[in-house]
Amino acid sequence: MRLGVCYYPEQWPREQWASDARRMRELGIRLVRIAEFAWARMEPTPGQFEWAWLDDAIATLAAEGLKVVLGTPTAAPPAWLVQQHPDVLPVDAHGRTKAFGSRRHYCFSSEAFHAASERIVTAMAQRYGQHPAVVAWQTDNEYGCHDTVLSYSPAALAGFRRWLAQRYGSIHALNAAWGTAFWSLQANSFDDIGFPVGQPTGALPTHALDFRRFASDEVLRYNRMQVRVLREHAPGRDVLHNFMGMFGEFDHHAMGADLDVAAWDNYPLGFTDTAPFISEADRLSWARTGHPDISAFHHDLYRGICKGRWWVMEQQAGPVNWAHWNAMPLPGMVRTWTWEAFAHGAEVVSYFRWRQLPYAQEQMHSGLHTPDDVRDLGGEEAAQVARELAALPDDAVLASATAPVALVFDYSAKWMTDIVPQGADMSYFGQVFGAYSALRQLGLDVDLVGPDAPLDAYRMVVVTGLTHLTPALSARLQALSAVVVLGPRTGSKTEHLGLSSQRAGAAPLGSAMHLPITAVDSMRPGLQLPVVGVSGDELGQPLGHGHQWRDLAQLPADSAARVLARYEDGYPAWVQQGRWFRQCGMVDAPLQARWFTEAARLADLPVVNLPAGLRLRRRGDWLFAVHRGPDHVQVPAPAGTSFVLGDARIGPAQVAMWHAP
């Protein structure tokens, strides 16, 4: 559990560096990320490198005992590269070439860009790969930020056609997989294939999906090139990428296989302000704290990307500049966000940035210090965390942050849902986040795991919105003894984004949970229908209501399943078959909590009903409580507990930590 900071020496006078380094050490910083975005400083003209400044910067940091994370600067291609190779620039969905002048102005399919990137990354890695202070490398910066995964350039089109030829072997196979019998869309050769945009109405879903897969693969191919160079010249160093929150345009699990550490950039207020699946009411309630689950969701997601190793590479340290509104965090939140990350297992929390820059695009993005070099609120809270870390008992939280509940997350399910939403407010991120939040509200710790992750260690597995349930995952679920909750849309699509057989719902699970879905019911906001009980006093009585989405299920006569709740019009809403539960649609929060409670009970997992804004997280023998709500609350610790952090009663923006073996 170390603290880090993001630092851009090229933006400050050299005479300030030594003081900066000294004060970093004094504040408790151990790791400093530098060099990302500094391409034009390292290679001011093609092929001619200037290392002196960077040599100095690293030496200055190392002199204070600080470790360095070097970022490759490829997110900021210099002007000369664009002048030399205009085809480096990406092209938008309307065919307009994007312009030089901000960042990420490159097309992942541009071979000129690959070549130039390999040259600068090789040169950096040759020079600093074995530097003792350089302990880790970050490739590029936030792949995909600003909608930059998809490019519609000639190079991308040629690459897409090659990718399709390789995937399908023959145009006949492509026609079969895409279903081009519809609307006379038969392709006679791969050269008939264009981009899935600009048609009078939507393109073939499989066409669109394959383009998303291709684009994701292009990001992986590009990153793999950088990783290969770094592994060759910087052996033994951690290679990581700093992923961005709420971003799913490429397959993070696939990229994670190439990396040592999954880092991510944690801006809780910005995400709360802009995440499309957060309600306006929640944006207001949590404007100064971040939604109680928005950071933790990502912590638990990124922990699953690289076998448990993960960092927060950029931690919001004050107001940011890029959301619609950029509120001041509630005093205490910078500290609390930091501890929350450690509670979920972060190895490093690195603040963005050492000092606010008084010019350029991020001039309103605060850091640990004001532009005038005064320690800002965030800096004070970071220093407090450093002191608290130093004071921790020796045995505190060495354990990994595994959880008893797994929630499956699959990037291709996001693409499929985007392409065939069927209801204008359907969102895969939103659906999984909703399930996550409901579980966390019950005090349950959750691992967000990829579709190929091992599941044996879990007592309960939740799979929701996972449009395509692979035979492999289906088989692994059937081999478990865990309680499994299957949510709406799960298993509804084939690998090619067609309908599953019998719109199968749980059908790919064979007889384990035999509940065919014959149709779906997509409901506009405000349209709802009661869910009613089926037995005892609850027979016909409303338990809550469904909205937004229903899988319309038909329990076959020979089914071993049992309907536990129905919609008012008779369709099953909540079904159990042994250790399997099937939830057929979206429901209101109390009913969702009730159903997850039923599943948790069967899994022998205790649940609580946490007050608004309070969240718990166990790490080994230690328990953390993190609070965002407006009121003071009691944490669920036995009387007499002695607290390492906080107290039995904590207020807004406070945290507590205690030993709970």
In the window 208-267, what residues touch Zn ion (CB under 5 A)? Answer: 265
Pick the closer one to a copy of itself by CB: 51 or 643: 51
Q: Are 264 and 302 in contact (CB under 8 A)?
A: yes
Pick the closer one to a copy of itself by CB: 183 or 638: 183
Task: Please tell me what DSSP assigns to residue 392.
Answer: S
- Contacts to Zn ion from residues 340-379, by CB under 5 A: none
Q: Which does 127 bind (CB under 5 to 8 A by kind): a copy of itself, Zn ion, none?
A: none
Dihedral sign for Cα atoms in the order 462, 468, 469, 470 = negative
CA gap 416, 146 in Å, rounded: 21
Q: Which of 265, 376, 381, 447 binds a copy of itself (CB under 8 A)?
A: 376
> Taking contact as CB under 8 A, which single stretch among the options 257-265, 405-413, 469-477, 490-498 is the one that binds a copy of itself?
490-498
Q: Are 569 and 579 in contact (CB under 8 A)?
A: no
- Contacts to a copy of itself from residues 542-601, by CB under 8 A: 550, 552, 569
Pick the closer one to a copy of itself by CB: 151 or 464: 151
Active site residue 142: yes
Active site residue 36: no
Encoded amino acid at 599, one letter: A
Q: Are 133 and 61 in contact (CB under 8 A)?
A: yes
Question: Out of 43, 218, 249, 314, which one is annotated catalytic?
Answer: 314
Under rule CB under 8 A, residue 76 binds a copy of itself? yes
Pick the closer one to a copy of itself by CB: 153 or 180: 180
Q: Closest distance between a copy of itself and the C-beta of residue 53, in Å?
A: 11
**Beta strands 134-138 and 542-553, pairing class:** unpaired
CA gap 131, 268 in Å, rounded: 34
Under rule CB under 8 A, residue 127 binds a copy of itself? no
- Contacts to a copy of itself from residues 209-268, by CB under 8 A: none
Q: Closest distance between Zn ion and the C-beta of residue 259, in Å?
A: 18
Mark residues 26-45: x for contact with a copy of itself by CB under 8 A, - for none.
-----------xxxxx--xx
Kindly list the distances between the CA atom of residue 238 and the CA atoms of 254, 345, 556, in Å, as whole numbers in the listed order. Answer: 17, 17, 53
Backbone angles phi, psi at 246, to 5 degrees: 55, 30
Q: Closest distance between Zn ion and the C-beta of residue 244, in Å?
A: 7
Residue of 146, 128, 25, 143 whose CA lies nearest to 70: 128
Q: Closest distance between Zn ion and the C-beta of residue 317, in Å?
A: 12
Residues 6 or more apart whose CB falls under 8 angstroms from that of 247 comprise: 142, 144, 145
Q: Which of 206, 216, 242, 576 binds a copy of itself (CB under 8 A)?
A: 206
Q: Environment class of residue 366 by beta-carbon count within 10 Å: exposed (0-12), middle (13-18) or buried (19+)?
A: buried
Q: Which does 491 bind (CB under 5 to 8 A by kind): Zn ion, a copy of itself, none?
A: none
Q: Which of 170, 361, 535, 609 binds a copy of itself (CB under 8 A)?
A: 361
The total of other beta-carbon atoms located within 10 Å of residue 358's CB is 11
Length of the chain: 661
Question: Out of 36, 43, 142, 340, which one is annotated catalytic?
Answer: 142
Pick the closer one to a copy of itself by CB: 327 or 480: 327
Across 115-252, the runs of DSSP E, i.e. the strands, are 134-138, 238-244
**Radius of gyration of the chain, Cα coordinates, nearest whole angstrom:** 26
Q: Which does 605 bind (CB under 5 to 8 A by kind): Zn ion, a copy of itself, none?
A: none
Q: Which does 566 bind (CB under 5 to 8 A by kind): a copy of itself, Zn ion, none?
A: none
Residues 6 or more apart whose CB falls under 8 angstroms from that of 580 comprise: 483, 484, 486, 506, 509, 512, 513, 561
Q: Which does 181 bind (CB under 5 to 8 A by kind): a copy of itself, Zn ion, none?
A: a copy of itself
Instruction: Point out which residues bind Zn ion (CB under 5 A).
Output: 265
Residues with catalytic function: 142, 314
